[in-house]
Amino acid sequence: MKLQVQDLEKAYATRKGVVQAVCPTSFEVGDGEFVSLVGPSGCGKSTTLYMLSGLEEVTGGRILLDGKEVRGPGADRGMVFQNYTLFPWLTVLENVQFSLGLKANFRPGEQTTAEIMRLVGRSYFLLDLMGLHDFYDAYPRELSGGMKQRVAIARALVNQPKILLMDEPFGALDAQTREEMQEMLALLSQYEKTTIIFVTHDVEEAIFLSSRILVFSSRPGRIISDIAVPFGRDERTLNLKVEPEFMRMKREIMTLLHGSQNNKAEDRKTLLEKLVQKA
């Protein structure tokens, strides 16, 4: 598996003129990599991810998956969203098996029964791996936020997409659940060796999970740094977060991020001082 992004660009035509959301951006993602996109809010990291998924139209450049240009969404690129996207009328198991019943993935002529049975078995395996074996028949409204996201991840993985795209999947969860989910995802990616592109604004989360981090500048977004994370996949336990090397890296990336925002903070400070003096 190889993902090549060449001069990918997003621009919107508005009444005031053309707004550049993402500057022409190029990068490559190799097999089994876990790449995080971090950057200040509004920098276009989510837009980039949506363009990779095919849900957002590309206004310039191209995306190649295994050398073939991709247009529009497809089952080869699974996605997990920030909001809960489980189908409320299906049980947990039915949600995970939803994609198996779609024409694009279920081809009785071409697929052998054994192949289909393997995918069905995989749906159980993934749910068990996520600690959801007691919830096969539960409806989404009966689940907590963290459980919903775990089901969503299982659902995206069941068909073995070439790449998994995750858009701040833990953004809506509380701090403790978030850490549990991070640990679980680290374990899962070690097991499954899925190639993952992960969007987050949480630097700690990015370092903890990824093998590589792409740092975006503020709008219009472009990649200002491409950082390899030196920790091995088996080192990803919560203890890692307090290691000096981890903290050093976090500081480094935060400096990078704030560098592109420092001026704004200065402006705000002087404005505030002026206002205080007036009052």
Partner 1 sequence: MTTEINVAPPAAPAPPVTPPRKVRQSAHWFDLRKDIPAWGYKTLTVVSFLALFSLWAWLSHQDFVNKIFLPQPEKVWTTFVQLLDDDNMWTDIKVSFIRVTAGFLLSAVLALPIGLLLGSYKIAESVVQPLAEFIRYVPVPALIPMLMLLFGIGELAKIMLIFIGTFFQMVLMVADEVRRVPYELLQVSYTMGAKRGEIVSKVLLKAAMPGIFDVMRLCNGWAWTYLVVAELIAANEGMGYRILKFSRFLQTPKIFVYLILLGVIGLTIDILLRRINARLFQWADTTKR
The answer to the question of residue 83 lying near partner 1 (CB under 8 A) is yes
Select the span of 41-49, 154-162, 229-237, 240-248 touching partner 1 (CB under 8 A): 154-162
Beta carbon of residue 213, minimum distance to partner 1 (angstroms, whole number) = 24
Where in the chain does DSSP place strands (E)? 2-14, 17-30, 34-38, 60-65, 68-69, 77-80, 163-167, 195-199, 212-216, 223-228
Q: 160: alpha, beta or left, given left = phi > 0 and alpha = psi -120 to 50?
A: left
Residue 189 binds to partner 1 (criterion: CB under 8 A): no
By CB under 8 A, is residue 97 in contact with partner 1? Answer: no
State the number of CA atoms in the 13 A half-sphere of 263 facing the CB.
Answer: 2
CB 183, min distance to partner 1, A: 21
Q: How far apart are CA 104 and CA 161, in angstroms?
A: 13
Cross-strand pairs, 36: 198, 213
Separation CA 152–CA 92 (nearest Å): 9
- For partner 1, the closer of residues 43 and 79 by Cβ is 79
Residue 24 found at the interface with partner 1 (CB under 8 A): no
Q: Which is nearer to partner 1, 63 or 227 (CB)?
A: 63
Q: 91 vs 210, which CB is nearer to partner 1?
A: 91
Nearest distance from C-beta of residue 140 to partner 1, angstroms:
8
Tell me how far apart the alpha carbons of residues 202 and 75 are, in angstroms, rounded to a whole number: 28
Smallest separation, CB 168 to partner 1 (Å): 13
Q: Give the pair of three-digit tokens for residue 135.
A: 């919830």
Q: Give the total of residues touching partner 1 (CB under 8 A).
A: 32
Q: How many CA atoms lie within 13 A of 212 on its CB side?
A: 16
Contact 8, 61 (CB under 8 A): yes
Considering the rule CB under 8 A, would residue 105 count as an interface residue with partner 1?
yes
Under rule CB under 8 A, residue 224 binds partner 1: no
Q: Which residue in this structure is represented by tokens 């919560």?
A: 238
Closer residue to partner 1 (CB): 99 or 182:
99
Stretch of residues binding partner 1 (CB under 8 A), selected from 9-17, 47-55, 182-190, 216-224: 47-55
> Among residues 38, 43, 58, 79, which is the contact residue for partner 1, using CB under 8 A?
79
Question: Where in 123-152 is the site for partner 1 (CB under 8 A)?
Answer: 139-141, 152
74 binds partner 1 (CB under 8 A): yes
Give CA–CA dist 70/96, Å, rounded. Answer: 25
Nearer to partner 1, 70 or 253 (CB): 70
Position 155 contacts partner 1 (CB under 8 A): yes
In this structure, are strands 212-216 and 60-65 parallel, antiparallel, or unpaired?
unpaired
**Residue pair 209/198 in contact by the 8 Å Cβ criterion:** yes
Place of tokens 């289909």: 116
Binding residues for partner 1 (CB under 8 A):
53-55, 72-75, 77-79, 81, 83, 85, 87-90, 98-99, 101-105, 139-141, 152, 155-156, 159, 165
